[in-house]
Amino acid sequence: MNLANKQILVVQGDITQQGVDAIVNAANNSLQGGAGVDGAIHRAAGEELLKECLTLGGCATGDAKITKGYNLPAKWVIHTVGPVWRGGNNGEDELLTQCYRRCLELAQEYQISRIAFPAISTGAYGFPLERATKIAITEVKSFLEKDTCIEQVIFVCFSQESYNCYQQLIKKILTGEIKT
Ligand code: ADP
């Protein structure tokens, strides 16, 4: 879909292979690497990434920090920490929204034009997929409607289920069938 000259794409695949300016990592507070997409990014980037991460002093939930991409095709990695799902009444929606916003703000600061996101918090952190997907798409859409150097956002879905969910919701949200 296009918002003037902006593009939001949904693809199924491995985020470590994306040839964009920045990929987003669904990290944990320590920024010391972990399982899931975090582990895949550290393996693909090489050990220099962990060395840089260790200099950053961790990252608060809902915040984001940027490093170089080292052996990745992407020049930058933006590490964000999504909320752990604890039933939905513990600020999870707001914290997940903040993750997307902080990543996009950092991308803007670094003059990044193409950025790829994984489905933050929907793996080990247990955030319900549909609810997380609505938040992801809504926040990206509203950011791209502003004056920004970001031209392309790619949602990289690892599973078929996640891909289907993004495909369905993106159409509904961008056509206004779902009001957000
Ligand atoms: P979190 O702890 O934030 O839930 P996870 O890494 O467990 O992070 O999962 C977040 C999402 O990333 C899940 O939808 C998972 O399927 C997906 N994922 C795992 N590996 C990759 C990868 N290599 N590329 C893109 N997405 C991935």
Task: Please check whether residue 51 is in contact with residue 70, taking contact to mean a CB–CB distance below 8 angstroms.
Answer: no
Q: Report pLDDT for 2.
A: 53
Take atom 19 of ligand 1 and give the residue whose Cα is closest.
37
Top CATH class of 7-174 equals alpha beta
Q: Report pLDDT for 127.
A: 98
Element (H, E) at 154: strand 152-157
Residue type, 71: N
Catalytic residue set: 38
Please indicate whether residue 158, judged by its CB atom, sits closer than 6 Å to ligand 1.
yes
DSSP state of 113: -
Residue type, 175: T
Take atom 10 of ligand 1 and give the residue whose Cα is closest.
123
Q: Give just the sign of the alpha carbon dihedral 32, 150, 74, 163.
A: positive
Q: Report pLDDT for 162.
A: 98
CA of 4 to the centre of ligand 1 (A): 30
Res. 153: pLDDT tops 80:
yes
In 13-151, where do the E strands start and end?
Answer: 22-26, 64-68, 76-80, 114-117
Those residues whose C-beta lies under 8 Å from the C-beta of residue 79, and which sit 6 or more positions away, are 24, 25, 27, 31, 53, 56, 59, 64, 65, 66, 67
Res. 118: pLDDT tops 80:
yes
Residue-range domain boundaries for the chain: 7-174
Q: Report pLDDT for 175.
A: 84
Averaged confidence pLDDT in the chain:
96
Ligand 1 pocket: which of 158, 163, 165 to mutate (most atoms <8 Å of CB)?
Answer: 158
CA of 117 to the centre of ligand 1 (A): 10
How is residue 136 written in tokens? 């992801």
Mean pLDDT of 141-162: 96
User: What is this structure's pTM?
Assistant: 0.97
- pLDDT, tens digit, 9 for 90 and up, residues 51-95: 999 999 999 999 999 999 999 999 999 999 999 999 999 999 999
Please indicate whether residue 34, judged by its CB atom, sits closer than 6 Å to ligand 1.
no
CA of 123 to the centre of ligand 1 (A): 5
- pLDDT, tens digit, 9 for 90 and up, residues 16-27: 999 999 999 999
The pLDDT confidence band at residue 177, using thresholds 50, 70 and 90, is confident
